[in-house]
Amino acid sequence: MLRSMYSGISGLKNFQTKLDVIGNNIANVNTYGFKKGRVVFKDLISQTTQGATAPGDNLGGVNPKQVGLGSQIATIDTIHDAGSMQTTGRTLDVAIAGDGYFVVKDGENEYYTRAGNFYLDSNGTLVTGDGKKVEVGGEVSIPTTATQITIGKDGTVSYMENNTLVQAGQIQIARFANPAGLTKVGGNYFQASNNSGEAQIGNPNEEGRGTVESSFLEMSNVDLSEEFTEMIVAQRGFQANSRIITTSDEILQELVNLKR
């Protein structure tokens, strides 16, 4: 069989994966705190048909002759650049201006997110939309009689009760040595991995952590114009690799037709 046919097959598989990632990016263009993915290719091994030779007294050196055997996926990156902020006018909607992630828990499991659409449950606890508790240096418990809930840039959650300002807690933010190493676990959440480093949890606006902006939400960092351009590139790449297989098949057919 022709090597070009198998190279074309490897290209088809890779561009299918690229389209999968692009499709997921576009599907989450309006998902709060979503971080887009990116596919990077690299070449497969090359078959050496003739090695390089060193220069001699009478002849110069000769470069190696190699035939590449296709491509493969090098990495599927998660791009953690910040998305644009959207004003909501809702106090419990918060965004991080700068580096870091909100810390939320369900029991012993700890998750990290940039989506700050938080709520109060019937116990007055600050939670996410699916009930995970927000880390605030302990659990925030705001009584039902509280009024004028505010969240400061330093993450301090306060409320008024009986004309007295009460501080309920301080939203915590986690930083990582390598945010790109975080693992997506769905639901707008990340978890630490072996390559992300341990979570460095602390107060906002300290040790490089961002500030907390109340009444804002961070949008997805997906750029539709970029994604559609990448989709066109992936589509043409898929078509080109399909043509390689078609051409290789036509050559094989000519070889078979030599015997009539």
Mean pLDDT by 10 residues, the chain (260 residues): 85 94 96 95 90 89 90 94 93 94 91 94 89 80 83 91 86 94 94 93 91 95 95 95 90 83
Look at residue 242 in the predicted model and tell me its pLDDT.
92
pLDDT at residue 136, as a whole number? 84
Question: What is the Cα–Cα distance from 108 to 133, expressed in whole angstroms?
Answer: 11
β-sheet bridge partners, residue 200: 175
Model pTM? 0.86
The residue type of 115 is A
105: left (phi over 0), alpha (psi -120 to 50) or beta: beta
Q: What is the pLDDT of residue 253?
A: 87
Are the CB atoms for 102 and 96 separated by under 8 Å? Answer: yes
Angstrom distance (rounded) from CA 260 to CA 150: 86
Sequence-distant (6+) residues with CB within 8 A of 8 are 70, 241, 242, 244, 245, 248
Backbone angles phi, psi at 207, to 5 degrees: 55, 45
Half-sphere exposure of 26 (CA within 13 A, CB side): 14
What is residue 166's predicted lDDT score, i.e. its pLDDT?
87
Tokens representing 258? 């030599």
Long-range contacts of 140-145 (CB under 8 A, 24+ apart): 140/168, 140/169, 141/168, 142/168
